[in-house]
Amino acid sequence: MSSARRNGNDDRVFVRNGRRPYRRSYSVAEVRWGAVVLVFLALVFFWVAWKGGHPDPKLFTTGIDPLRPGSAAVRGPLGGSLAPAGWTEGAVSEYDTSNVYEKIDGREDYYRAYGFERLFFLTLTSDIDIAKTIDIELFDLSTAANALGAYAGERPGGITPEISSSGMAHVARNALFLTRGKYYARVIGSDESPQVLDALARLRTSLEGAIEGEPLPWAYALFSGRLGIDPGKVTFLLGNAFSFDFARYVYTATVDDDGGRLFVSAARDEDSALTLAARFNAGFLEYGKGEAVRDGVEWVRDRYIGRLAACTAAGPWVIGMKGAVDLERGAEELARLRSAVALLPGETHRLALEERRADESRRGARAEGVEDGEGNLFPGEGGETERGGTDER
Amino acid sequence: MSGDRKRVHSPAGRKDADTADAARHRFEERRAFLKRAGVAAVLAAGSTWPALAPPGWIFSLRDPDGKRGAPKEKTFRLPEGGFIVEKPATAADLGVARGTDIRAMIRSAVDGIGGIAHYIRKGDIVVVKPNVAFERPALLGATTNPEVLAELIRLVKEAGASEVRVADNPIETPENCFARSGIREAALAAGAKVYLPSPADFQVLNVPGAALIEKWPFFRRPFKDAAKVIGVAPVKDHNLCGASMTTKNWYGLLGGRRNQFHQKIDTIIADLALMLRPTFVLLDGTRVLFRSGPTGGSLSDVRPGRTVVAAVDSLAADAFGWEDLLRRDPGRLPRYFAETAKRGLGNPNWRETVIRETRIG
Amino acid sequence: MSDVGKMGRPSGLFRPNRDGTPWYARVLRITTTRIVAQTFFFTLFVFLLWVTWFSRMGGYPVSLFLEIDPLVGIATALSTHTVYRWLWRGLWVLVPTLVVGRVFCNWVCPYGTLHHFFAWVFNIRGNRNNIDKNRYRDAQQIKYIILAIFLVLALFGSLQIGLLDPISLLVRSMTTTIAPAADLALISLPGALADTGLRVPSLTFLSSSPGAAEQRVFAGAWFIGLTIIGLVGMNLVIPRFFCRVLCPLGALLGVLSRFSLWRIDRDITKCTDCDLCLKHCEGASDPQGALRKSECFVCFNCIDDCPEDALSFRASPLPATDRIRGSLRDGRATLFGKKVISRNAETVVRHVDLPRRRWLFSAMAGVLAYPFLRLSRAVNKRGYSEKAIRPPGTVEESEFLERCIKCDQCINVCPTNVLQPSLLAEAGLEGFWAPVMDFSVGFCQYNCVLCSEVCPTGAIRTITTDEKLGSGRFAGNGPIRVGTAFFNRGRCLPWAMETPCVVCEEVCPVSPKAIETYREQAVRSDGSKVILNKPYIRPELCIGCGICEHECPVMDDAAVYVTVAGETRSKERSLLLLQGEG
């Protein structure tokens, strides 16, 4: 009985021979389709394996990468190690327009006005005395003119910068300031000990080595090269120059001890230079009245500060003088500038326009509020406050 | 049976056959009864014996007062005298190395206390205990610097260790902590094995003389057959006990409900010093988490320390770290220093000890 | 038929077939390929669940099966009017269904494979009994009713397909029951064998949660386990019970497959009505008579089982009923000159076998079910549970209910085990099995956003660590808060019992810490002095990660606890006026 049950079909624990087909004929077509399916399965397999090997890096990283501290990607223009012997670098942190306030809360508007792109920050600590530190703030200000402008704006009066072909630098007490290309570096030591000062000097060399330089803007060739003005006295005003909303991309150079300044700006062509010069004059006249005409240029005396200003077109350039004390002297300086400008090659004018256009298009893309003439973005005029324009503070 | 039926033809013969059949059937019935009775008796006896036989007799399951059935706690002890190797008489108590070349610093610091060859023998299995308590990138200083760990492992391997095991029971998720802190990668790259805690890895450790953890779950698996133990801990501020350095580092070997210990944090740290007497410790002062400890979380809570300290006496190393690296008042050492010193487990007066300090780079 | 061939002929596997085709035409027939595909996809499914873990995940498409499930795509499209992230991959199943029918069910679906396997292994029936069990039954209409109810609910914004969608159901079951059970075995095996003297190597690397210091536990796992045991066990009573009767995805594919180009066709000039094709019919789709296209799983078993070779898989065969000459009844009918043998001339039923009025009834049931669910206290704005703490990145609750399919992939990947399938208390029946955080089990790992990455439907939006923590690009937004911690001073050791503690402050991961302390000196009754750090919350910094609650030594009812108050995803539950704006 029991053996009969074991043989029967009705009581099997597991199916035996469960796949024996009853069909009579077979078809090779099934094998072919099977092969197609197997190829498909293989594709799925490799696709999954490939996906597995290519994770989304964002998923597993945090803002701080633990494994590559200060690697090339983060160091940006800083390149390799900057630390002089006896000093050690901390981690490099990078900030952009969205978060720069975290690092330099309250000061960021100043750098924004000079085309702020990025800030790299790092601290060096002395190996011998860990109380001695040096902070490096390296600003990417998008153009060399901006970098020089920001630099000139923060330089205290009475300091003569050292000028190289691609930037300026000076050491003041425990700090080193330098520009190189579009970068502006502020390097602040914790004290004025010889150790720190020595490190600052060596940092200057390594920073200048690390960052690619570019030639100084054309205006330096004009003011320093042709007129012999100390390049440290040249300033770049990106927008809202003299608090005139129309006045942008203006270079100025201080020519006397009283703060009288020559200025120059490139207009598109001769006609627009005439128009722009007329706007300057109209602007000056709003705050003063005409006093005299020299060489066909009307000089206007400001009714508040009592200084003289004048502006005229010279070819495609707009030139002028602002803050002159003495009419004759001012007229003389302006004449010198006029003759120097007349000698500028056409190439320089093209370069100046190029520089301006590149900067404008960058700003246009970012839709920054610099050009809307709201007027309070420029504290950087070398400590001197210009009265006039729309500025009523 | 069907064969029998065929043979029968006459009624008389059939009657005889019927009688014989009936008799045989009764006999078979009786035999079946006896069989079943036998089975029943064996089953009855088989269940009565274990139920009633006194404890200690063979197959007895009897448990008159419930004590036999109470769960037994299996405990173990670490080796008598810990993993200590006596420091050579000529060596310093604290080997301090400052600089930036971590590899050279570690070697120099360990040389200061007698050199690695003195502490590690060929073929030793060495447990290295970093602090991986939190899931933080190493830059934030909440965990041991992976570079320090890696160089230490290399040093130990060069000294002939057959196996180096890196183990910790973090507060946050172990796997994430080991990965995010860079410890896993550093340890594996340096040729060590990483031991992540899993529920089966803990066993109750008996620490005779401990005030709070005389019997407490301990992360045992990495310590099986281990000959030497080295602690490598960062220098961290700690919200409750002041500072977390090499002595508090052993907390990461405990399991169970260890969060109660904060009620007597100083006592538990002294207990930890008793529980694990390491071969030596390395205080990783390459980064100092000087506030918001022990978790940190911001680069502004960290400053570079550029120091490593090797010591057999972890308390002296910690006291040095308190004053030199955390830059805190030596007169206000956390209480656990005194409590540990009272039990003779270290000397917090590091200025009394012999220090060998080197500068690298 | 003996396996040993005649003299001079190869035997066994390599024996050629009697019809002259080579041996491989028999061995590698299409059902063999199907078994390979089923094994492949089931293995892939288990593998993808296994790699759903911090250290293994890499870039694997861990939610692939949920993404190719067209029911998930269609239902979320109905509820949200969008197709999230990878859900367009549902087309990978939808389009083939339109071409060859419900191949997904018997070639790809891991849940179908599971049922298929159990129904096969534990099949103790004889042929006749099997044939009877595989006949179509009216109960198979139920799945269409379920589908209709779920889709109507989805239209109203309540996504309930996940309760019965096979992929969601299997992922959920694997995550909360099978995987932890396997872990438990792996972990306790060495311990159990330790006394025997056998040294078993640690197998924890195989665990589904390597590096978790504690065995993972899941709320209500017993019920999920009971469900899967019950559904799999039903195969002993009715083979493929779930697939034939309950599966809403099967119903959806059934509706689509009535348009399919290919189908099984029966040659009535060969068919002897022996019904042997039903012997292994997976879908109970009546291949012996008029094939029910919507029920056919395209398993091809019927072709294997037909002793007359009357069945074939053909591109859009037309029913030839009208072309039969002569009477079927007297047995002299012919078709294209061949004698019709089968008594049943019908070869296909094209429509889904659910009468229109029943469709209507189902839709009405769905219309009513929506208010019944939504008016429950737990899921509407006025009655949310303070413990319905959703993972970071979760969208606002009503949108969440439109998206969450309760697949519990987030729960699977959660490294701390804090994510739990919610029970009725947290979000009612509508949010049943959706993820909530239980801080007595774990805490939200500070730098971890894995749950948002694996979510197939965007119920947890994909976020980066920066977005979660409010750093980097998201510095202006502030961190994502899932709730806020509160102190119960009546149970807190320093506040109520003059005992030092502040574990909560130690573990608080934000910087600066969201838990700070007052320092106070207390004099106890015995005159001893004790300095206490009494903790308090800075709600503007707290992100609700719950590690304080998890680590609080007052275990059962922690002295610091997190509730949903202040969660960023809901304006209604905000706590501080200006929170999240700075």
Model confidence pLDDT, tens digit, residues A288-312: 888 888 888 888 888 887 888 889 8
- Inspect the interface and report whether the beta carbons of C120 and A15 lie closer than 8 Å: yes
pLDDT of residue C92: 96
The answer to whether residues B119 and B180 belong to one domain is yes
Q: Measuring CA to CA, which residue among C18, C146, C153 is closest to residue C79? A: C153
Q: How much is the pLDDT for B175?
A: 87
The sheet that has A234-237: what strands, in order across it?
A234-237, A250-254, A261-266, A317-324, A308-314, A297-302, A288-294
Average pLDDT over chain C, rounded to an integer: 90
Q: Can you give the pLDDT at residue A332?
A: 85
Q: Which of residues 271-300 of B touch A (CB under 8 A)?
A: 299
State what percent of residues in chain A have pLDDT above 90.
7
For residue B41, count CB atoms less than 10 angstroms from its CB and return exposed for 0-12, middle for 13-18, buried for 19 or more: exposed
Within 190-209 of B, beta carbons closer than 8 Å to C belong to 196-200
Which pLDDT value is given to residue A164? Answer: 75
- Please name the residues in contact with A245: beta carbons below 8 A apart, sequence gap of 6 or more: A373, A375, A389, A390
Q: Is C114 left (phi over 0), alpha (psi -120 to 50) or beta?
A: alpha
- Residue B79 tokens read as 């080796």
What number of H helices and E strands is found in chain C? 24, 12
Q: Where are the domains of chain C?
A: 30-169+241-349, 170-236, 387-480, 484-563
In angstroms, what CA-CA distances link A330 with A314, A337, A344, B342?
17, 11, 21, 86
Q: By mean pLDDT, which of A330-344, C139-153, C424-438 is the weakest?
A: A330-344
Q: Are B105 and B224 in the same domain?
A: yes
Tell me: pLDDT of B324 over 80: yes
- Gap between the Cα atoms of B217 and B252, Å rounded: 11
pLDDT digits (tens, 9 = 90+) for C13-40: 788 888 889 999 999 999 999 999 999 9
Please check whether residues B44 and B182 belong to one and the same domain: no
Indicate whether A8 pLDDT > 50. no
| B153 and B21 in a common domain | no
Output the six-digit token pair for B207: 């620490």
Q: Do B175 and C513 touch (CB under 8 A)?
A: no
C433 pLDDT band, cuts 50/70/90, is very high
Q: Is there a domain that residue A67 lies in?
A: no
d(CA C448, CA C53): 11
User: What CATH number has the domain bearing residue A287?
Assistant: 3.40.1000
* In a shared domain, residues B197 and B263: yes
β-bridge mates for residue C564, sequence order: none
- Alpha-carbon distance values, C444 to C53, C415, C466, C481, C492 (Å): 15, 9, 15, 11, 22
Max CA distance (Å), chain A: 137
C576 pLDDT tier (thresholds 50, 70, 90): confident
Residue A249, domain member (yes or no):
yes
Domain with B39, as residue range(s), is 2-52
Q: What is the distance of C-alpha C217 from the center of its chain? A: 18
| Element containing residue C529 per DSSP (H, E) | strand C529-537
Query: Can you read off the two tokens belonging to residue C227?
Result: 């469900």
Judged against a pLDDT cut of 60, whether residue A5 lies above it is answered with no
Say if residue C580's pLDDT is above 70. Answer: no
Give residue A281's pLDDT.
Answer: 87
The residue whose two tokens read 């022996």 is C274
Q: Give C516-551 pLDDT, tens digit per residue.
A: 888 888 888 888 888 888 999 999 889 999 999 999
Q: Is residue B209 part of a domain?
A: yes
**A131/A255 same-domain check:** no
Q: Which of A151, A180, A210 is the last residue of a domain?
A: A210
Nearest by CB: A51 against C60, C472, C473: C60
Q: Is the pLDDT higher at A130 or at A376?
A: A130
| Residue-level pLDDT at B240 | 83
Residue A103 clears pLDDT 90, i.e. is over it? no
d(CA C272, CA C341): 6
Mean pLDDT computed over C490-516: 89
Work out the average pLDDT over A225-234. 76
What is the structure's pLDDT at A75?
63
Residue B254 φ/ψ, nearest 5 degrees: -85, 150
State the residue range of the domain holding A335: 218-366
N residues, chain C: 582
Q: Is the pLDDT of residue B1 over 90?
A: no
Please check whether residues B355 and B310 belong to one and the same domain: yes
- B269 with B308, same domain: the answer is yes
CB-based contact B181 A66, cutoff 8 Å: yes
d(CA B316, CA C515): 32
Q: What per-residue confidence (pLDDT) applies to C194?
A: 67
Nearest to C213 among B174, B260, B297 (CB): B174
Are residues A200 and A295 both part of a single domain? no
What pLDDT digit, counting tens, does each position of C205-227 carry? 788 888 787 889 999 999 999 99
Q: How far apart are CA C157 and CA C238, in angstroms?
A: 34
Please tell me which residue of chain C has the smallest CA distance to B181. C447
Question: C-alpha angle B282/B283/B286, rounded to 5°?
Answer: 120
Q: Name the β-bridge partners of C346.
A: none
Answer yes or no: do B139 and A64 touch at CB < 8 A: yes
If pLDDT is split at 50, 70 and 90, which confidence band does A240 have? confident
Same domain, A187 and A316: no
| For range A47-51, the mean pLDDT | 95
A16 band by pLDDT with thresholds 50, 70 and 90:
low
Average pLDDT, whole number, for chain A?
76
Other beta carbons within 10 angstroms of residue B69's beta carbon come to: 9
Residue at B325 is within a domain: yes
**Start-to-end Cα distance in chain A:** 115
Please indicate, yes or no, if residue A303 is contained in any of the structural domains: yes
Quick check: A389 pLDDT over 90?
no
Amino acid present at C481: R
Cis peptide bond upstream of C248, omega within 30? no
Contact: B100, A88; criterion CB under 8 Å: yes
Tokens of B88: 């050579």
Examine residue B60 and state whether it is found in any structural domain, yes or no. Answer: no
The domain that holds B278 is classified in CATH as 3.40.50.11440
Asked if B238 and B165 sit in the same domain, the reply is yes
State residue A74's pLDDT score.
53
pLDDT in tens, C262-311: 999 999 999 999 999 999 999 999 999 999 999 999 999 999 999 999 99
User: For position B96, what pLDDT does the model report?
Assistant: 93
Whether C305 and A22 lie within 8 Å, measured CB to CB: yes
Please, are residues A355 and A143 in contact by the beta-carbon 8 Å criterion? yes
- Taking domain C387-480, whether its CATH number is 3.30.70.20 is answered by yes
> Using a CB-CB distance cutoff of 8 angstroms, which residues of chain C are in contact with residue B169?
213
CB pairs under 8 A between A and C: 131
Of B197, B263, B295, which is closest to C500 when you measure between CB atoms? B263
The answer on pLDDT for A172 being more than 60 is: yes
Q: What pLDDT is recorded for position A14?
A: 47
Distance (Å, whole) CA C482 – CA C213: 24
Phi-psi region for residue C545, left (φ > 0), alpha (ψ -120 to 50) or beta? alpha
With DSSP H G I counted as helix, E B as strand and the rest as coil, what are the percentages for chain C, rounded to 5?
45, 10, 50
The burial class, CB within 10 Å (0-12 / 13-18 / 19+), for B204 is middle
- What's residue B112's pLDDT? 92
Is residue A3 scored above 80 in pLDDT? no
Average pLDDT over residues C412-429: 92
> How many domains, in total, are found in chain A?
2
A264 and A188 in a common domain:
no
Alpha-carbon distance of C547 to C445, in angstroms, equals 8
Which pLDDT does position B48 carry in this prediction? 95
- The mean predicted confidence, pLDDT, of chain B is 90
Q: Spell out which residues of chain B touch residue A99, defining contact as CB-CB under 8 Å.
A: none
Both tokens of C273, joined, read: 């009505």
Chain A residues within an 8 Å CB radius of C307 = 22-24
- When pLDDT is averaged across residues A314-341 and rounded to a whole number, the result is 86
My answer on whether A241 and A294 are in the same domain is yes
pLDDT reported for residue A378: 32
Q: Is the pLDDT assigned to residue B188 strictly greater than 80?
A: yes
Give the whole-angstrom CA distance, residue A183 versus residue A215.
Answer: 13
Q: What DSSP string runs through B302-345?
A: EEEEEEEEEES-HHHHHHHIIIIIS---GGG--HHHHHHHHTTS
3-state secondary structure C350-411: CCCCCCHHHHHHHHHHHHHHHHHHHCCHHHCCCCCCCCCCCCCCECCHHHHHHHCCCCCHHH
B140 has pLDDT over 90? no
Based on the domain organization, do B94 and B16 belong to the same domain?
no
Whether the pLDDT of residue A61 is over 70: the answer is no
Nearest to C33 among A18, A34, A48 (CB): A34
Round the CA-based radius of gyration of chain A to a whole number and report it: 34
Q: Which of B98, B137, B306 sits opposite A66 (nearest CB)?
A: B137
In 3D, which of C212, C218, C224 has the Cα closest to residue C162?
A: C224
* Burial classification of residue A163, based on how many CB atoms lie within 10 Å of its CB (0-12 exposed, 13-18 middle, 19 or more buried): middle
Q: Least CA distance to C21: which residue of chain A?
A: A26
CB contact under 8 A, C509 and B292: no
**Tokens of residue C300, six digits:** 């091809």
**ipTM value of the model?**
0.92
Judge whether residue C375 has pLDDT over 90.
no
Work out how many domains chain B is built from and give that number: 2
Distances (CA, A) of B100 to A261, B257, B283: 51, 39, 15
Q: Is the pLDDT of residue A17 over 60?
A: no
Assess whether pLDDT exceeds 90 at residue A201.
no
> Does a structural domain hold residue A352?
yes
**What Cα–Cα distance (Å) separates residue A94 from each residue in A123, A128, A138?**
13, 27, 10
Residue A329 and residue A279 share a domain? yes
Residue A18 falls inside a structural domain: no
Q: Cα–Cα distance between B97 and B351 in angstroms, integer?
A: 16
pLDDT confidence of residue C1: 42
pLDDT per residue over C443-497, tens digit each?
A: 999 989 999 999 999 999 999 888 898 877 787 788 999 999 999 999 999 999 9
Contact indicator for C200, C158 with CB cutoff of 8 Å: no
Q: What are phi and psi of A153, to 5 degrees?
A: -65, -30
Q: Are residues A230 and A360 in the same domain?
A: yes
Whether B200 and C204 lie within 8 Å, measured CB to CB: yes
In a domain, B47, yes or no: yes
* Amino acid at residue number C318: L
Q: Answer yes or no: do B46 and B160 share one domain.
A: no
Fold of C484-563: Alpha-Beta Plaits (3.30.70)
B7 vs C198 pLDDT, higher one = C198
Query: Residue A97 domain-assigned?
Result: yes
Q: In this complex, do B139 and A67 lie within 8 Å of one another by their Cβ atoms?
A: no
For residues B289 and C509, what is the distance between their CA atoms, to the nearest angstrom? 14
CA torsion angle B148 B154 B158 B161 (round to 10)? 100
Q: Are residues B185 and B111 in the same domain?
A: yes
